[in-house]
Amino acid sequence: MTATVIDGKAFAARVRGLVGEGVAKLKEEQGITPGLAVVLVGEDPASQVYVRSKGKMTVEVGMASFEHKLDVDTSEADLLAVIAQLNNDPAVHGILVQLPLPDHLDSDLVINSIDPAKDVDGFHISNVGLLGTGQKSMVPCTPLGSLMMLRDHHGSLSGMNAVVIGRSNIVGKPMAQLLLGDSCTVTIAHSRTKDLPDVVRQADIVVAAVGRAQMVTGDWIKPGATVIDVGINRIEKPEGGTRLVGDCDYDSCAAVAGAITPVPGGVGPMTIACLLANTLTACCRANGLAEPEGLTA
């Protein structure tokens, strides 16, 4: 068996296309332009790349992009003041504070200072609680993108056995909640799970989000299962230099699975696409308008 490759790059382009259509419709029919504000503290190279990419794609789909770049030694009070300003700005429908923050800043305090309705990362404690109780929320982007790809590949997920490897607040826990919402039977596994390979072998759906390069191998995978690899790990190449790999050993897993996301080019592109989708959704909700179909959980 050779797995079907779930092309996240192509899927993300489709999602951005739908977002662009929704933005154009809002502008034409309502005179409203969705706005996304990104706050970057410091000069972390990876964060700078992400912020540039987000800003570029925000403009490409027709949204207003607001970037706030703050010095690495910005005080907590000054950062909270910027967020308060954005909370009160009607032109801003989505607010994203780029993580990680410098060590002197309390990430939880900062994230929870964002208006939950504008929390397009879905990390605010109110959105976490709403998602966990099956209510309307802002949904974290990476799990949302993973769910979209699973729905697209399978149609209904009802009754499927899903194993999520990883229990982070950013991916593992919200992913499990989303799968429960689609009527899967869900197990959250992690580094201390006994007989982890045996647990994973029971799964029709495997979501690997543990942060360990190539940990999941093909002999862990049930024949025909769908594998969503959330991991992004940089490893050394034998000939020198580095390359990106996921939490799954791609070749051995692809030989057994029914479908699999590659790294790079799988879940990664969906994260920014879902950030844009969440901003459009937040804008529609803020203005009492119908949400765009197919762009949220």
Q: Which residues are catalytic?
A: 54, 98, 121
Q: Are 193 and 167 a contacting pair, CB within 8 Å?
A: no
How far apart are alpha carbons 187 and 206 in whole angstroms?
10
On whether the CB atoms of residues 8 and 267 are closer than 8 A, the answer is yes
d(CA 224, CA 92): 44
Alpha carbon distance 162, 140 (integer Å): 19
Q: Can you say whether residue 19 is alpha, beta or left, with left for phi > 0 and alpha for psi between -120 and 50 degrees? A: alpha
Please classify residue 88 by burial: count the beta carbons closer than 10 Å to its beta carbon, then call 0-12 exposed, 13-18 middle and 19+ buried: exposed
Tell me the residue length of the chain: 297
Cβ atoms of residues 14 and 73 within 8 Å: no
